[in-house]
Chain A
Amino acid sequence: MKILITNQWMILSAVEFAVIVYMFFLLRKAKRMNPSDLEIRKAKKSDINMDDVMRDMHEAPALYKALSRACHPDRFAGNPIELLANELFQEVQQNEHKFKQLELLKTKIQEQLHIKIKV
């Protein structure tokens, strides 16, 4: 009976040892990472405001539409500020889904093109 109990403990410890060896193997495998993987690890620490994401999702489309209409280069054809309007229009297009940037662009457009934008 004593021998049987000892054998059970031996088997259990052997299984535990095998699990530990397997975990070490997995950890060594995980350590071999390429530079892009390191970049991903860095991203883990970034803080994201979900309210901004919601604004990008629901409020940005209307603002984008209004801004792209307001500073469309066709509105300023033959005008000395046509080039400026073209630049601003491209900026608006690049920030289509970014509400914060679009709001900044709105004030910039109003100041530089001397127009009022209603959203």
Chain B
Amino acid sequence: MWKYLYSIQDWFNDFSERRRLVRNFNLSARQAFVANLAPTLLEATISIGESAYRHAFSKFMAGGFRIKALSGRPLARHEMVSIAEVVLNNQELVRKLISLGWDTLEVHDNSGYNGIKYKLYDYSGIGGVLGFNQ
């Protein structure tokens, strides 16, 4: 019985952890922008995500980790890719995103109509035999 109660507690913890991660990302992005380290202000939000990219831990209707760049102009594809690559190359971050229920990474700007989507599971390095996949 306690196991089930703990799983309910886990469910609520996941939500607070997700909010904390998004808040930390936005705070760091804002600080980098104010300190003139970053040319564009980035903002992370939670979106619906891509249904084709779902996995066992996906959150219902909240599987998308969306990074919006407040660039003021439509970003070129390579600029969006470079933002996404930093997240995708950080395997620890990707695994954390997956464990907290995200399945899609979305990057787009605030003025254009184009964006890019990535399936996070493909970049997590998960799937080998335990202890032998590194």
Measured CB to CB, the residues of A under 8 A from B are: 23-24, 27, 30, 33, 35-44, 46, 48, 50-51, 53-61, 96-98
A58 lies within 8 A of B82 (CB) = no
B99 lies within 8 A of A44 (CB) = yes
Task: Give the residue of A37, A48, A98 whose beta carbon is less than 8 angstroms from that of B89.
Answer: A98
Q: Give Cα A35–Cα B4 distance, bound, in whole angstroms.
A: 21
Q: Give Cα A43–Cα B101 distance, bound, in whole angstroms.
A: 12
Task: Give the residue of A37, A43, A54 whose beta carbon is less than 8 angstroms from that of B32.
Answer: A54
Measured CB to CB, the residues of B under 8 A from A are: 4, 7, 14, 17, 21, 24-25, 27-29, 31-32, 37-39, 42, 56-57, 82-83, 85-87, 89-90, 92-93, 95-96, 98-100, 124, 126-127, 129-130
Closest B-chain residue to A26, C-beta based? Answer: B7
A48 lies within 8 A of B92 (CB) = yes
A61 to chain B, nearest CB (A): 7
Q: Which chain B residues border A24 with CB–CB below 8 Å?
A: 4
9 A-B pairs with least C-beta separation: A43-B95, A50-B28, A44-B99, A54-B32, A97-B89, A43-B99, A50-B24, A57-B86, A58-B38
B93 lies within 8 A of A48 (CB) = yes
Q: Give Cα A56–Cα B84 distance, bound, in whole angstroms.
A: 11
Question: Given A40-B99, A97-B90, are A35 and B31 neighbors across the interface (CB < 8 Å)?
Answer: no
B90 lies within 8 A of A53 (CB) = yes
A82 to chain B, nearest CB (A): 28
A35 to chain B, nearest CB (A): 5
A12 to chain B, nearest CB (A): 22
A40 lies within 8 A of B28 (CB) = no
Question: Given A50-B25, A53-B25, A54-B28, are A44 and B86 neighbors across the interface (CB < 8 Å)?
Answer: no
A53 lies within 8 A of B126 (CB) = no
Q: Which chain B residues border A35 with CB–CB below 8 Å?
A: 129-130
Q: Which chain A residues border B83 with CB–CB below 8 Å?
A: 57
Q: Which chain B residues border A44 with CB–CB below 8 Å?
A: 14, 17, 96, 99-100
Q: Which chain B residues border A46 with CB–CB below 8 Å?
A: 92, 95-96
Q: Which chain B residues border A56 with CB–CB below 8 Å?
A: 86, 89-90
Q: Which chain B residues border A55 with CB–CB below 8 Å?
A: 32, 37
